Structure 1
Amino acid sequence: MTVIIAFLANLLVAVAKTFAAIITASASMVAEAAHSWADAGNEIFLLIADRQGARSKDARHPLGYGRSAFVWSLIAAFGIFTAGAIVSIMHGIQELGSDEPVESPVVAYAVLAVAFVLEGASFTQALIRSRRLARERGSSTWDFVIETSDTTLRAVFFEDAAALIGLVLAGGSIALHQITGIAAWDAVGSILVGLLLAVVAVVLIGRNLAFIVGTSASRALRSRVGTALLAAPAIERVTYLHIEYVGPNRLFIVAEIDLAGDDREHDVARRLRDVERQIEAHPVVETVVLSLSVDDEPSLVFDDVTYPIGRADATSPTIR
């Protein structure tokens, strides 16, 4: 829903900015129009990312298709850089020597104001969701947006934030053009919008590349997963834990554990499978592989707390 709202907002804004750019002949408005068309196109890639990443695992893809969401989001980020940043910067440079005044600036201000309302509504929706999820994880909103594996939410958050800042830059450059009579201010606004988009694109490209290559789980996530494992009645110790993102909010977990009791090999194998199924029932766990620990292997510590052997009354924390 976040992506759909952003797409509709960007589409309406792109049409309005294009109309204003034609009437006003403003370099800043051209940059803003390119920005919005790039964002609207990128939302399509993000919708594809959501759809592809949600496909269920099969024999050929035992860990699911989640990583395809990172790939499509990476393509969207490149779109911001090429269709938004480069076009805006190049157009601004070309217009630096121009001395033509901005025609009908009132039209430009009106379109920018409407665009600010629409972009603001989309950003507010993304911000509210980000704040809620950040509180659930005990994190700041900024840290959550940067670190989350929800690549579409991060993209919408950054794109809408950049759109709001870009609108202020465009409006300010047109106003400076009017006040000073220096047409270069309008071109400078276009360049600044392009540089802003370039920064956003680089951040999004870097985060998506990190998840595609394989980023390590944060200490907080590792602690939540480890504590959840120890909270299972059948698990006494955890001596090895590997966590890997295989998609947005999808985890692949490998752990070595010590089961409670001293059952026969056949019974232990069945108990291991039962525990794996219980863990895989969690909505963010794609696959989990458990094996038995050796007696002399040290226990892992999570949140500087170890569970006593045999403790079965712990409350399982939220894994996200």
Structure 2
Amino acid sequence: MTVLLAFLANILVAIAKTVAAVITSSASMVAEAAHSWADAGNEVFLLIADRRGAKTKDARHPLGYGRNAFVWSLIAAFGIFTAGSIVSIMHGIQELSDTGPVESPVVAYVVLGIAFVLEGASFTQAMVKSRRLARQGGTSTWDFVLDTSDTTLRAVFFEDSAALIGLALAGGSILLHQLTGVAAWDAIGSILVGILLGVVAVILIGRNIAFLVGATAAPKLRARVGRALLGLDQIERVTYLHIEYVGPNRLFIVAEVDLAGDAREHDVARRLRDVEQRIEAHEAVETVVLSLSVDDEPSLEFAPA
């Protein structure tokens, strides 16, 4: 729903900005139009990411298809960089030598104002959801957005943030052009919007690459999983724990544990499988693999909640 709302908002805003760019001949408005069309196209990739990543695991993909979400989100981030950042910067540089005035600046201000309201509505939804999930995880909103495996939520959060800042830059550039009569301010606005989009794109590209190459869980999540394992009646010790994201909010867990009691090998194997199935029943766990610890392996300690 978050991505769909952002997509609809970006389509409406992109059309309005394109019309305003034609009427006003403003470099900043051209940059903003390119920004919104890039965002709208990227939302399509994010919708594909959600759909592809939600496919149920099968024999060929025992860890599921969740990493598809990171792939398509990575493509979307490259789209921001190429269609948004590079186009805006190049157009701004080309317009630096332009001495013409911005035509009908009121049209630009009206469109920017409407766009701010629409983008603000989309950003508010992403912010509210991020804050709620951050509180549940006991972390700050900023840290949650950077570290979350929910790649589409992070993309919408950053794209909408950049959109609001970009609108302010475009409006300020056009205003400075009017007040000073220096056309370069409008071109500088376009360049600044492009740089802003470039920074956002680099952040999103970096985070998606990190998850694609096997990002491990944050220490707080690791501790929470460890405490949950030790909270099971059948488990006395945990001597090894590996947690990896295999999709948005989907975990692959490998652990070595010491089971309570001294049962026979056949019974131990059955008990291990029962524990695995119990853990896999959790909505955030894609697959779990448990093996037995040996006596001389030290127990892991997990920080309290």
The TM-score with structure 2 as length reference comes to 0.99
Indicate the residue corresponding to 2:36 in structure 1.
Answer: 36
Indicate the residue corresponding to 2:256 in structure 1.
Answer: 256
Identical-residue share of aligned pairs (%): 80
Q: What SS class does the counterpart of residue 156 from structure 2 fall into?
A: helix
Query: Any residues of structure 2 matched to 1:281-320 within 5 Å, and which?
Result: 281-303=281-303
Query: Any residues of structure 2 matched to 1:108-257 within 5 Å, and which?
Result: 108-257=108-257
**After TM superposition, what 4+ stretches of structure 1 lie above 3 angstroms from structure 2?**
none
The whole-number CA distance in structure 2 between the counterparts of 1:241 and 1:215 is 14
Matched, 1:279 2:279: yes
The whole-number CA distance in structure 2 between the counterparts of 1:95 and 1:86 is 14
Q: What SS class does the counterpart of residue 245 from structure 2 fall into?
A: strand
The whole-number CA distance in structure 1 between the counterparts of 2:215 and 2:4 is 28
Q: Which runs of 5+ in 1 are unaligned?
A: 306-316
The whole-number CA distance in structure 2 between the counterparts of 1:3 and 1:269 is 44
Q: CA deviation at 1:216?
A: 2.1
Letter in 2 for 1:188: I
Deviations 1:128-157 (A, max 9, x none): 000000000000000000000000000000
Q: What SS class does the counterpart of residue 296 from structure 2 fall into?
A: coil
Indicate the residue corresponding to 1:308 in structure 2.
Answer: none
Deviations 1:17-55 (A, max 9, x none): 001000000000000000000000000000000000000
Compute the RMSD of aligned alpha carbons: 0.7
The whole-number CA distance in structure 1 between the counterparts of 2:234 and 2:163 is 51
Letter in 1 for 2:283: P
Q: Which runs of 5+ in 2 are unaligned?
A: none
The whole-number CA distance in structure 2 between the counterparts of 1:297 and 1:192 is 56
Letter in 2 for 1:48: I
The whole-number CA distance in structure 1 between the counterparts of 2:297 and 2:190 is 61
The whole-number CA distance in structure 1 between the counterparts of 2:29 and 2:18 is 8
Q: CA deviation at 1:77?
A: 0.1
The whole-number CA distance in structure 1 between the counterparts of 2:31 and 2:126 is 24
